[in-house]
A = this chain, B = another copy of it.
Amino acid sequence: MLAQLSKADMEQRALLSGYPLLSCNGPIIFRKAAIYMLKYDLGTGNKENWLIAETDFDVEHQGKCEAIFCQGNGYLGQRAALEEEYVRQTRDLLVTGTFNRFDEQEVCELPNLPDLTRIQLTLNGERFSMDHGTVTDYLRVLDLENGEVTRTLSWTSPKGFRYAFRFERFVSLAQEHLSGIRVCITPVDTDCTLVVESGINGQVTCTGSQHFHEGEKRFLNGRILSMVSRTIQSDVTCCLHTAFVFSTQTGSVQPEQQIPVIDRRYLGIRATLHISAGQTLIIDKLSSVTTSRDLAYEGQTEAALCAQQDGLSMLESALEAGYEGLRDASRQAWAAFWQASDIRITSSHPFDQLQIRFALYHLNIMAKKDDPRVGIGAKGMTGEGYKGHSFWDTEIFILPYFILTWPDAAKSLLTYRYKGLYGARIKAKENGYEGAMYPWESAWIDDGEVTPKLGGADIVTGKPIPILTGMIEQHITADIAFAVDLYSRITGDQEFMDRYGYEILIDTARFWASRVTWDTNRNAYVILDVIGPDEYKEHVNNNAYTNYMAYHNLELALNAIETLKERQDDVCAHMDEMFCLEVTEQKIRNVMDRLYLPQPDANGIVPQFDGYAQLQSIDLSKYKNADKLGTIYDDLNPEQINGIQVHKQADTLVLMLLMDNLFPQDLKVRNFYFYESRTLHDSSLSKSTHSVLASDLGEKDMAYRFYNGCGDVDLGPKMNTSDMGVHTASMGGIWQCVVYGFGGVRVVSDELHIAPHLPDAWQELTFPLIWHGQRLMVYITPEHCIAENQGAEAVVVTLCGKPTAIGAGEAVQTDF
């Protein structure tokens, strides 16, 4: 579809985009179908490896850039659907925690709020659209450094007039309720009557489900458009306020005519302005989004009213600050973020640097770091996929980044799980178990299990297929316990453990103690009928991942109980009252001591589940080399796949990564090659596990190849796999490849280990870590590793196997 661009082309486009091209000294790297990497200078600083660009518009592939260019701040996410309309657009504006259920048959989801991004421009009677006329010099850039998206293009209209366009957008990282869009229009060769139509459009739905009552539409104070709508079931009031400011280079201008446009679920203006040939008209659209579910109004009876009033006054202040003032505040917040979080990679392949920054960008906009009532959706707020629900992905793939970089955010995310005990206990009870059985999919803290019960129709019987994950994919309960312990070990946050952590550890262990079945043949407790992380395999017994993680969960609870009993304080008393610690301890110990843990066979392979060795092994190269995901389903149905040694993702290998002290290195090597050859990596979670393990096992090239594969999940050539949103777990996975894998960071019992394995292509890797509240900077080159303690207290770090004390402000170098 897209031709490879020459360096000259790219320089020309970069120039037209308004950024002066100061240096372009490296190669412009062509990256797959539509994702390019640009390196040019913003004047204020080197933009090398900060920019992701789309150099051609393709109506078929809008979803890709809508998702990967999505802007947000953890509170809201705004997909990068273009201002003008095209078929196949998905305009999403999602706000964390606003879950609503359309009806009793559906599960709750993040509702799609009224759209703010649509701006229709008509120039001398011709509607601007890239569907007609001729577009040249198209360039759309996401600048990861400041979170801004810029689109520049020249358009020759069907009647032959030329116009230059520049579109800019930001969602403020400084003021999470605010966002701005700027449109600059220059008619090149004609005077122009411009008609702008834009406003607040509540006609959007989630794939057809409408979550809002129409609500109130108003024009306030002569210039502000206001739409206040309530969700139909969860009763969340969402308030949108927006206003337009028109100007030229010489100052603000008033439209010749501005009339209100009111339609069902729609409120807008139609403004008519004159632009002389060669002049540039600037349209600024500033907006605020507030909801009654915002943390600020928690527990307030007048939350809806407050949200409405605050939304208005925020927009009024925003109008005083102006587009540039707001944008600059957001830029500063982004600068602070990168100051704290940036990971720098010097590589022969500059894309390696861009990829980790891309991951860090999305890790930053996916999480509301201060709101313990919300989790991270599997697609963040970049699309409607998985309905905004949280899975095990958060704890196993994403949380390590937060624990080691933003521990307060990690605490908030785990507190969300503490609040989720409510639903977990209900789920356990409903399934006939004790303790806390975490929902496979979680939404609002009161919602409990929100996994849909039925999926697509069986093409043979015509009947809907039950979705089993909500019932039998149970490892998430142990995964959450694992993450609580990891958080505790990395932060040493005893207060968290006392208030939340112990309760989670013990009640999840109580679930497992009630979940097991006694197997008289084996003379052991077994865990029957589950799905492990590898979802190709349903209804399996003694899934190694699940059994070992459950064992670990039981062990963590026992340790907790022992600690509590030693303390004999209020916390202990409270837990004792809740759980009767003596009885619970006995129950847990009884199950733990006799829990069946799958052992390596004669070849050293840990079987993924009972009977694994008896499954057929087939040639998978056709599927492994396919350029689409899930091609195995074109040949085999789920039942057939269940009977073959083939995996969607690393299942036993995730276990070996998480419990890395449990298995000897040679066993890990055997299992790695055995299982990798049988894995199709059809899950976005698969490659990062393989990359980190490959690093651990000294397989540098493989680790590096898998790292690139992780980037491909969203930035790669499969142009429709991000349509429903980016893969947030993959972003955490990319971070793990770099920090856990190449950086060799691991937490072993209570020690921080750093044992780097730099890829051959890399000359340098620098990343921050926060260990027990102290910020460390780690600098790695092929020759040495330097750990600098930027904190106020001394720490002990195991550098390349050697425990090393590093005083506050000190740096320690280890040569290889």
Check if A464 sits within 8 Å of B216, measured CB to CB.
Answer: yes
Contact of A87 among B85, B102, B105, B220 (CB under 8 A): B85
Q: How far is the CB of A56 from chain B (nearest CB, A)?
A: 13
A455–B214 Cα distance when bound, in Å, is 12
Closest to A459 in B: B260
Binds B, one of A164-172, A200-208, A410-418: A200-208
Q: Tell me the residues in window 235-283 of chain A with beta carbons closer than 8 Å to chain B beta carbons.
A: 259-260, 262-265, 267
Q: Is residue A815 contacting chain B, with contact meaning CB distance below 8 A?
A: no
Closest to A130 in B: B131
A455–B634 Cα distance when bound, in Å, is 52
Closest to A634 in B: B259
CB contacts (< 8 Å) of A131 on chain B: these are: 59, 87, 131-132
Q: Is residue A217 contacting chain B, with contact meaning CB distance below 8 A?
A: yes
Check if B264 sits within 8 Å of A214, measured CB to CB.
Answer: no
Contact of A105 among B106, B209, B213, B263 (CB under 8 A): B213
Q: Is residue A60 contacting chain B, with contact meaning CB distance below 8 A?
A: yes
The binding surface of chain A is classed by DSSP as loop
CB contacts (< 8 Å) of A265 on chain B: these are: 207-209
Check if A219 sits within 8 Å of B457, measured CB to CB.
Answer: yes
Contact of A85 among B88, B205, B260 (CB under 8 A): B88
Check if B219 sits within 8 Å of A210, measured CB to CB.
Answer: no
A634–B259 Cα distance when bound, in Å, is 9
Q: Is residue A86 contacting chain B, with contact meaning CB distance below 8 A?
A: yes
Q: Is residue A324 contacting chain B, with contact meaning CB distance below 8 A?
A: no
Q: Is residue A462 contacting chain B, with contact meaning CB distance below 8 A?
A: yes
A33–B467 Cα distance when bound, in Å, is 54
Check if A208 sits within 8 Å of B205, measured CB to CB.
Answer: yes
Q: Is residue A103 contacting chain B, with contact meaning CB distance below 8 A?
A: yes
CB contacts (< 8 Å) of A85 on chain B: these are: 87-88
Closest to A85 in B: B87
Q: Tell me the residues in window 525-542 of chain A with beta carbons closer than 8 Å to chain B beta carbons.
A: none
Q: Is residue A127 contacting chain B, with contact meaning CB distance below 8 A?
A: yes
Q: Is residue A188 contacting chain B, with contact meaning CB distance below 8 A?
A: no
CB contacts (< 8 Å) of A463 on chain B: these are: 218
Q: Is residue A456 contacting chain B, with contact meaning CB distance below 8 A?
A: yes
Closest to A267 in B: B457
A479–B262 Cα distance when bound, in Å, is 32
A263–B131 Cα distance when bound, in Å, is 27
Q: How far is the CB of A66 from chain B (nearest CB, A)?
A: 16
Q: Is residue A232 contacting chain B, with contact meaning CB distance below 8 A?
A: yes
CB contacts (< 8 Å) of A219 on chain B: these are: 457, 459, 462
Closest to A456 in B: B262
Closest to A102 in B: B210
Check if B86 sits within 8 Å of A214, measured CB to CB.
Answer: no
Check if A260 sits within 8 Å of B457, measured CB to CB.
Answer: yes
Closest to A60 in B: B127
A203–B210 Cα distance when bound, in Å, is 10
CB contacts (< 8 Å) of A105 on chain B: these are: 213-214
**Of residues A85, A208, A260, A456, which shows the largest number of chain B Cβ atoms within 10 Å of its Cβ?**
A208
Sample of 4 more A-B contacts, CB < 8 Å, known A87-B87, A87-B131, A209-B265: A86-B87, A103-B213, A202-B208, A208-B210
* Interchain Cβ contacts under 8 Å between A and B, 15 examples: A59-B131, A85-B88, A86-B87, A102-B210, A202-B208, A205-B210, A207-B263, A207-B264, A209-B264, A217-B457, A218-B463, A219-B459, A260-B456, A262-B457, A267-B457
